[in-house]
Amino acid sequence: MFTGIVTDLGKVRSITQAGDTRIEIETHFDMNSVDIGASIACSGACLTVIEKGPGWFAADVSAETLSCTTLGDWKPGARVNLERPLTASAELGGHMVSGHVDGVGTLRELRPDGDSKRFTFVAPKELMRYIAAKGSISVDGVSLTVNAVDDTSFGVNIIPHTQAQTTFGAMVQGTRVNLEIDLVARYVARLLGKD
């Protein structure tokens, strides 16, 4: 479980194709405190640490994960939002995020809005019914509040701090992103028989 509060901006250092795809990621995390088998959210996708060294870790990524996320788009040098898992004593600063990507969205529009920037994303139709104004959503692993919703897209504002500390600072129109809908919205829809 994660909070959607990114604590490191990592970088893909290598990608190797084999039975699965091995991705090595550079990080500022103290890898001495990360166990083999631990989970790390990588731009919203929960990956398992299979090898590590000072300033880096490796994860195996299945074909299924590559097909359902943006991880298949990654190249060496790509920036990655990183978050270690929530502990029982940790502050829940964002919202409950599982690290299970529900779909891929696309940045349709980016415009200034005061000191912030308004990002408008197109989302898959099957996810739009779970996205509500003032609700939460995880975009590339970042917990955000939805500001506006229409039939095909939603808008969020990104403050300068978030732009500087995450991949949002480098996004351009057409960028594909990992989306995870709010867990509460998913369960409410299920209870109401709309899932």
Q: Which of 92, 91, 88, 104 is nearest to 44 (CA)?
A: 104
Q: What is the CATH number of the domain that holds 154?
A: 2.40.30.20
Query: How far is residue 133 from each of residues 33, 70, 130, 149, measured CA to CA in Å?
Result: 38, 25, 10, 6
- One domain, residues 76 and 107: no
Residue 98 domain-assigned?
no
pLDDT (0 to 100) of residue 195: 61
Establish how many alpha carbons lie within 13 A of residue 67's alpha carbon, considering only the half-sphere containing its beta carbon: 4
Give the whole-number percent of the chain exceeding pLDDT 90.
83
Give the whole-number percent of the chain exceeding pLDDT 70.
95
Mean pLDDT calculated for residue range 129-136: 93
**Domain limits for position 122:** 103-191
- One domain, residues 162 and 109: yes
Q: Say how far apart CA 16 and CA 65 lie, in whole Å.
A: 15
